[in-house]
Amino acid sequence: MNLKIALSPMAGVNDKIFRELCISMGADIAFTEMISVNGLTSNNFKSFEMIPKSGKRQVVQLFGREPELFLKSAEIVRSKNGSNWIDINAGCPVKKVVKRGYGSALMEDPRRIRSIVELLSKNGFKVSIKIRLGREKNKNYLEVAKAASDGGAFLVSIHGRTVEQGYNGKANWESAKVLKEALPGVKIGISGDIFTYFDAYHAINQTKADFLLIARGAIGNPWIFKVVREYFKSQKVIHVDLSERKRVFNLHLDKTIKEYGIHGIILFRKFVVAYLKGLPNSHEVKLKALKKSNVEELKRVVNGFFDKLISCEQGGVERGNIKG
């Protein structure tokens, strides 16, 4: 299968632990959180810490505005992990980012995008870029994609929403099809509303995109990569049972605590909610779990809930009553 399945960049989510977990679950590539070129070139410790130690299957996404700072930052990344692949963030819709001319604000200046990509390409970097549709009144994604292509980008990934939409509304997958037909020499990635194997299949079937980027659909659901891969391979659906869900929850939590210490509990809260999402009678458990500041107490609450569900699934609780 030529399709590449990737963990899409997500600020505040794609730390080292989550990237490695998703790769172990079948992701071909895991992008980092967006890293500031201003931070890297001013020796900001936090920015440096975000660079993966290995650049083999983990790709750094940079955000900023000045071509020279992109180049300096890319050289820093290459010196730290040997990676020549740099992804450019031209799609972040967050107001405080856009206000400073970063993220999706870059789409308002296609010539600048070409300059950034061209400078990186001429210095031996393999360049990709992630964009949006553009603004509601100026959906210039095709113009921007062509500018990136002219600069030497090998991959253009598009999140099929406008800047104003943020993450609301429905993603327009048709935009990836437009790019695929207009830019035959460039790989095209599709992003937005990929939450299940069914979504993935229809997104690729509709657009013929080369890369499938999964973002929120992987939070609390890292096995989506192997589920999607198996479905494309055999049209068989892998069922992830509750025991596996419990195992991965504990694995993810343990690695997070090992990496960050007790502060990891706070960082892990978004994942706690996600691992419990969609499970019956989970609302109260989520509330209890989010109040815990002790790892063992958090595990007791969540694992106890999983154990009751597993017992119910195996017929161990009369009429499926898991409240007792």
CA distance 262 to 283: 24
**Strands (DSSP E) found in 219-268:** none
Angle between helices 197-207 and 224-234 (to 10 degrees): 60
**Strands (DSSP E) found in the chain:** 4-7, 29-36, 58-63, 85-90, 126-134, 155-162, 187-191, 211-214
| CB contact at 8 A, 73 and 43 | no
| CB contact at 8 A, 279 and 288 | no
Mention every residue, 6+ apart, whose C-beta is less than 8 A from residue 38.
44, 64, 69
CA distance 143 to 156: 12
Out of 5, 92, 163, 289, the active site residue is 92
**3-class DSSP state of 165:** coil
For residue 292, report the phi and psi dihedrals to the nearest 5 degrees.
-80, 135
192: nearest Cα among 175, 208, 215, 223 = 215
| CB contact at 8 A, 320 and 307 | no
Burial class (CB in 10 A: 0-12, 13-18, 19+), 313: middle
94: nearest Cα among 45, 167, 41, 156 = 167
Mark whether 92 is an active-site residue.
yes
Residue positions annotated with a catalytic role: 92
